[in-house]
Amino acid sequence: MNPKKMFFEKFREAAASVLPITLIVAVMCFSFVPVTTDLLLAFLVGAVMLIVGMGLFTMGSDVSMTQIGSHMGAKLTKSRNLPLIICVSLVLGIAITVAEPDLQVLAANVPNINTLVLIITVAIGVGLFLMVSMLRILFRIPLKWLLLGLHALVFILAAFTDPDYLAVAFDSGGVTTGPMTVPFIMALGVGVASIRSDENAQTDSFGLVALCSVGPILAVLLLSFIYKNAPESAAASLVNNYATTVELGLSYVHALPEYLLEVVIALLPIVVFFLLFQVVALKLQHLPLMRILLGLVITCVGLVLFLTGVNVGFSSLGYILGQRLTSPELRFLLIPIAMVMGWFIINAEPAVHVLNKQVEELSAGAISEKAMHYSLSIAVSAAMGLAMLRVLTGMSIMWLVIPGYAVALILAFFVPQTFTAIAFDSGGVASGPLTATFMLPFAMGACNAMGGNIMTDAFGLVALVAMMPLITVQIMGLIYVLKVRTVQQQPELEYGESDVIELWEV
């Protein structure tokens, strides 16, 4: 794609993602949930930084991360060296996850778990399960049985886990499949799948995101058994940002160099590993190499702007709006407002449109792009409503995820394998940047105002957003199966020897 065209396309996608929520929040602030001028200004500045940052980040990621994944995947396939494929998958999975912006936002907001500890734990989980994904492709292991066994293990561990870790563990699975990780993992999977020449090779390249979402859940659940009694000073940076509105305004200036250092440290392992791989094996020509390095610089700049806008202004107002909407006279609006926001978040998510077109092509038009769009919108809207219901009632996350995943896994035995893989991948698509950056702080603010436990009642929102599409996409697959059977069972018209057929009326 032409660089200028890509530039405007990425910024258009970023604006489409952020502006609907910005307008909804502006209407609320100018009507029934008034806030101070300084706080609203901080939010609007954060929204602009979020649009610019997301645009630059996704553009840089396409030019760098996707290309690195594609080149490495192709090189690994040519080597046909299984130990090398496994080791590279582990290292790349860890390195790419550390730089995932959604994970950094979540980790910064989790009380009582050190941010670095949580990021490293989740990254190791992704790295290990990226290895599992590669082995599944190479050894043709059915995805549904692997998902069934792994989720059974997840719920067995969950039964013995500290309740404070449950919701965070399931949220970790949702935020890892973000704009940094997904393009890279998908490109790597397609490259490795090309080793096989059978007709199911490309189908098996789906499902990588699904498996890499399970790894962090298991990793954080295991962390709960060994990481105890963390100091309260490790609490979320988000909670510490609301002392005064003056601090909110000034913190933009102070935050930029801090996040620049964090982003450089996060991206450094990927850059070093890529350069080593370039010298030893890839040996790309000068122009493609410089394009990737320029993409990494753009990714870095975009990520700095994104994290600064999110943590200083965007998340701040989300947190405060959640608090205000729990007042007795406005509490009845909490669930419907969250559901409306959920509808627009998924409606504006760029990756969702790609998924919808993919399913329409896969089903040869039997499941239209419009039908998929509405099914995902309903799924995420319902997930937001359920998340707010948990905030108001203190309902355990397990009362929702156990039946939800049970339905999703049962459906996997009645729909085509590709629909199952796309459904479980779609959870990562649905839980995009705005879920972690605005809706999660919104839930945290509401929970804090209600006097609830943030760890058990607010966290879990991302998990619900990632879970609901597993059901709705597979229901679309079930409809597709039923439509195909109906067409196959329709009897052909039979005509008698004396019947006259008017061709112009047929």
Q: What six digits make up the tokens of 68?
A: 């690195």
For tokens 């999110």, name the residue: 310
The answer to whether 339 and 382 have CB atoms below 8 angstroms apart is: yes
At 195 the pLDDT is 62
CA 380, 381, 383 angle in degrees (round to 5)? 60
Distance of CA 88 to the CA centre of its chain: 23
3-class SS of residue 31: coil
CA distances from 412 to 49, 148, 154, 230, 493 (A): 41, 9, 18, 40, 35
Please choose, from the candidates 247, 305, 262, 248, the residue with its C-alpha nearest in 3D space to the C-alpha of residue 48. 305
Query: For residue range 177-187, what is the model confidence (pLDDT) as tens digits?
Result: 766 677 677 76
> Residues 74-78: what's their mean pLDDT?
74
Model pLDDT, residue 208: 79
Better-scored residue on pLDDT, 364 or 406: 406
Percent of the chain with pLDDT over 90: 23
What is the per-residue pLDDT for 298?
Answer: 92
* Mean per-residue pLDDT, 106-123: 87
Flag whether pLDDT at 241 surpasses 60. no
pLDDT tens per residue across span 56-74: 988 888 888 778 877 777 7
**Which of 207, 215, 178 is closest to 473 using CA atoms?**
207
d(C-alpha 250, C-alpha 58), whole Å: 28
Structural domain spans, the chain: 3-483
Report the distance separating Cα 286 and Cα 273, nearest Å: 18
Radius of gyration of the chain (CA): 23
Structure tokens at 342: 């959920």
Q: Is the pLDDT of residue 240 over 70?
A: no
**Cα–Cα distance, 380 to 361 (Å, whole number):** 23
Residue 322's identity, in one-letter code, is G
Look over the chain and give the mean of its residue pLDDT values, rounded to a whole number. 81
Of 208, 24, 55, 30, whose CA–CA distance to 130 is shortest?
A: 208
**Alpha-carbon dihedral 435, 436, 438, 441, rounded to 10 degrees:** 130
Q: What confidence category does residue 239 fall into, taking pLDDT thresholds of 50, 70 and 90? A: very low
Residue 45 CA to residue 366 CA, distance in Å, equals 44
Segment 160-178, tens digit of pLDDT: 988 888 999 999 988 887 6
pLDDT, tens digit, 9 for 90 and up, residues 450-461: 988 888 899 999
SS (H, E, C) 48-69: HHHHHHHHHHHHHHHHCHHHHH
The string of DSSP letters for 127-196 reads: HHHHHHHHHHHHHT--HHHHHHHHHHHHHHHHTTS-HHHHHHHHHHHHHTSSTTHHHHHHHHHHHHHTT-
pLDDT at 235: 38
Q: Residue 208: helix, strand or coil by DSSP?
A: helix
Tokens of 20: 């609907």
- DSSP class per residue in 189-229: HHHHHTT--STTHHHHTTTHHHHHHHHHHHHHHHHHHH---
- Please give the C-alpha separations between residue 254 and each of 76, 102, 247, 249, 340, in angstroms, as whole numbers: 43, 21, 10, 10, 34
First to last CA, the chain: 46
Question: In sequence order, what are the residues at sequence separation of 6 or more whose Cβ sits closer than 8 angstroms to the Cβ of residue 224?
Answer: 161, 162, 164, 165, 169
Write the DSSP symbol of residue 454: I
Residue whose pair of structure tokens reads 């709960």 in the numeric block: 224
Question: Is the model's pLDDT at 295 over the cut of 80?
Answer: yes
pLDDT(236) > 60: no
Q: Rank 5-14, 49-58, 364-373 by mean pLDDT and report only the highest.
A: 49-58
Class of residue 479 by CB neighbours under 10 A (exposed 0-12, middle 13-18, buried 19+): middle
Residue 31: is its pLDDT beyond 70? yes
The model's pTM? 0.81
The DSSP letter of residue 332 is G
238: left (phi over 0), alpha (psi -120 to 50) or beta: alpha
Length in residues, the chain: 506
